Amino acid sequence: MKVAGLFAGIGGLESGLASAGHEAIMLCEIWEPARAVLSARHPDVPCEADVAGLRSLPDDTEVVVGGFPCQDLSQAGLTAGITGTRSSLVGHVFRLLDQRRAPWVVLENVSFMLHLDKGRGLRTLVEAFEERGYRWAYRVVNSLAFLPQRRERVLFVATTTDIDPADVLLADEAFTEDRKTSLSTHAHGFYWTEGIRGLGWAPDAIPTLKNGSTVGIASPPAILLPNGRVITPDIRDAERLQGFDADWTAPAESVARSSQRWALVGNAVTVPMAAWIGARLAKPGCYDRARDRDPSSDGRWSKAARFDGKHRLRVEIGSFPVWKERPPLSEFLRFEGKPLSARATRGFLSRTERGTLRFVPGFKERLGRHLLRMEADAPTAGTRLIPPVAAE
């Protein structure tokens, strides 16, 4: 299908759809560093600067896609809701659809939108699509299904065609056995900026990559490696953890400081997740209606639901549509990370003593030993990597 990509960022949705055979015919992105990436990676696709100034979609648009701004919806962001300055920009999607009703729409956003302001954001979306004659389905999908990053996002598919959107979004489910991990054999990701509450940690994976700051303050996670080292990953591995090629965001350095690449990666849509959606758009599956449930009596939004044209229905389905085999996180990483500083480690450990986050036995003790090594190496800790050490 012909794709119009709104809020394109660095092209995660569009790149994933392209791998499934779809073709981007227009992009729209306002942030200059992201535009630099799009220009380098999608040089033949016209890129409009501002969705608010976009007068119409291309005549041959078959699917409109967009990871509309999440800053006002994110648990780690402003939580201003769907009417926040940034997230309210999704209204331009409906303005453009009113001028030319594209047969398919695919949107992506943070899973926190199901809960923020009692789900007002999602309610706004579904009502707007229903008023325009679209059937829809949405689902929380975890990028851990594809890559070693725990990242839950709401995928929303709407259509005016005869194809049931549930056959695209809700036909696949993978079941995985509990993965056995230990501190001695697997890497464990966590956010060193937290410790009291927040996104927490992840065994053999990293927690959700954040968007950092548009003024260039990076916010990478930390990773405790099996050998006892604690690092923050290289930006090139962060790109790979979103499914991009290493150095995908390097063109942004022509217009912005290099640290802003973290914001670009954290804002992006995970590429293989978009590729899965693209494959199902090209060849829909068959939704099992035995998964249908009545809507929640308390009005809360479930993690998956659909609208068949007459009724809204909850759907019983997990967040893993597939399960892609991948090497352990410690082997997935290709580039040398930077050791977590003594100051950052000390602050994290201090906060864990006051917080509610829980870790496997031995986790904080290993961080304590890392802290001792970093303090012993204090004169050069910020400029060189500590040597590998045997796991205690």
For the chain, domains (ranges, CATH) are 2-176+269-315 (3.40.50.150), 188-244+327-380 (no CATH)
pLDDT at 31: 95
pLDDT at 90: 78
Rg (CA), the chain: 21
pLDDT at 381: 44
pLDDT at 85: 40
Is residue 70 annotated as a catalytic residue, yes or no? yes
pLDDT at 391: 39
- Judged by DSSP in three states, 141 sits in strand
Structure tokens at 367: 């961080």
pLDDT at 179: 78
Task: Report the distance separating Cα 367 and Cα 352, nearest Å.
Answer: 11
Which residue in 28, 47, 70, 286 is the catalytic one?
70
Which residues contact residue 177 at a Cβ distance below 8 angstroms, ignoring those fewer than 6 apart?
Answer: none
pLDDT at 270: 97
pLDDT at 384: 47
DSSP-derived letter for residue 377 is T
Task: Report the distance separating Cα 140 and Cα 17, nearest Å.
Answer: 19
pLDDT at 218: 79
End-to-end CA distance of the chain: 54
Which of these, 7, 5, 3, lies nearest to 264 by C-alpha position?
A: 7
Give, for all 392 residues of the chain, the pLDDT tens digit: 999 999 999 999 999 999 999 999 999 999 999 999 999 999 999 999 999 999 999 999 999 999 876 443 334 444 343 443 444 677 899 999 999 999 999 999 988 878 777 778 888 889 999 999 999 999 999 999 999 999 999 999 999 999 999 999 999 999 887 778 899 999 999 999 888 877 678 999 999 998 765 556 778 999 999 999 999 999 999 999 999 999 999 999 999 999 999 999 999 999 999 999 999 999 999 999 999 999 987 778 999 999 999 999 999 999 999 999 999 999 999 999 999 999 999 999 999 988 877 888 999 999 999 999 999 987 654 444 444 444 33
pLDDT at 213: 56
Task: Report the distance separating Cα 163 and Cα 95, nearest Å.
Answer: 24
Which letter, b or e, does each residue of 357-378 get, where b requires 16 or more Cβ atoms within 10 Å of its Cβ? bebeeebeebbeebbebbeebe
Question: CA dihedral defined by 380, 382, 384, 388, rounded to 10 degrees?
Answer: 100
Which residues contact residue 180 at a Cβ distance below 8 angstroms, ignoring those fewer than 6 apart?
Answer: none
Task: Report the distance separating Cα 302 and Cα 319, nearest Å.
Answer: 12
pLDDT at 356: 79
Which residues lie across from 338 on neighbouring strands? 232
How many residues can be counted in the chain?
A: 392
Count Cα atoms within 13 angstroms, Cβ side, for 73: 27
Structure tokens at 5: 């990509």
